[in-house]
């Protein structure tokens, strides 16, 4: 059932498994936004693979959230931005070729990320990038773990294109730690109408944790 936010679940198991396999087989292990040209070229090829997957599944957003693909290392923040911005525009061109969006996720230091670890930094980076296919992704657990109030950030951000309902360490929803009710209310207030996606690691071997997550997120974010 549709509500003010469109919550959609893809339950076609063979397609999900195929997509996961394709993602794992893509050359992502040494693909880097900020490293040498060879490592960046691997990232470009990886995003091409993501583009092929997005076409097959009719997916419109790819979340750029793996901290391992944006390691800053010894680079200063200024150096990282100087290198990262033109390269992200190149990735934006790849996304345009396949007609999908790259949603940059703020990944906190808690997850060993050292670049674009706060949502304000991501929003500024996206603005300076200036590419229509590079957008801001909002993950409630990442923002909470980064020390920010996600409700306040939703008030201040001009636009978000994609949203993760998640918990710290990608835990389940049996005992939620994040303030999902307040964030859900704010999403409705600001008129968010895109995806609300559950991000959660596998818990156990049955469907109980998944059913719990579906039930909690459906009720909390306004879908019955």
Residue 78, judged by CB atoms within 10 A of its CB (0-12, 13-18, 19+), counts as: exposed
* Nearest-10 crossing angle of helices 77-98, 119-129: 60
Domains identified in the chain and CATH numbers: 13-220 (3.20.20.150)
139 φ, ψ to 5°?
Answer: -120, 115
Look over the chain and give the mean of its residue pLDDT values, rounded to a whole number: 86
Per-state percent for the chain, helix, strand, coil, to nearest 5: 50, 10, 40
d(CA 26, CA 147): 33
Reported as half-sphere exposure (CB side, CA atoms, 13 A), residue 123 has a value of 14
Using only the alpha carbons of the chain, give its radius of gyration.
17
Q: Is the dihedral of CA 105, 143, 109, 178 positive or negative?
A: negative
Look at residue 3 and tell me whether its pLDDT is greater than 60. no
Contacts of 75 (CB under 8 A, 6+ apart): 34, 83
Look at residue 26 and tell me whether its pLDDT is greater than 80. no
Cβ count near 168 (within 10 Å): 16
pLDDT at 205: 79
Q: What is the pLDDT of residues 105-159, one digit of tens each?
A: 999 999 999 999 999 999 999 999 999 999 999 999 999 999 999 999 998 886 7
Give this prediction's pTM. Answer: 0.86
Look at residue 28 and tell me whether its pLDDT is greater than 80. no
């Amino acid at each position: 059932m549709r509500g003010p936010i469109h919550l959609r679940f893809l339950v076609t198991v063979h397609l999900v498994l195929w997509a996961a396999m394709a993602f794992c087989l893509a050359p992502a292990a040494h693909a880097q936004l900020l490293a040498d040209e060879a490592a960046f070229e691997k990232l470009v090829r990886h995003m091409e693979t993501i583009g092929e997957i997005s076409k097959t599944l009719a997916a419109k957003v790819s979340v750029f959230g793996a901290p391992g693909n944006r390691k800053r290392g010894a680079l200063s923040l200024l150096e990282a931005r100087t290198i990262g911005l033109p390269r992200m525009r190149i990735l934006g061109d790849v996304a345009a070729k396949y007609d999908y969006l790259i949603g940059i996720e703020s990944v906190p230091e808690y997850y060993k990320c050292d670049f674009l670890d706060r949502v304000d930094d991501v929003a500024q980076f996206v603005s300076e990038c200036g590419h229509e296919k590079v957008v801001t992704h909002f993950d409630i657990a990442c923002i909470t773990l980064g020390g920010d109030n996600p409700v306040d950030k939703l008030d201040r951000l001009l636009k978000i294109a994609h949203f993760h309902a998640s918990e710290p360490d990608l835990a389940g929803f049996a005992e939620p730690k994040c303030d999902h009710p307040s964030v859900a209310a704010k999403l409705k207030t600001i008129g968010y109408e895109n995806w609300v996606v559950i991000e959660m690691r596998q818990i156990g071997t049955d469907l109980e944790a998944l059913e719990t997550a579906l039930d909690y997120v459906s009720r909390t974010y306004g879908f019955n």
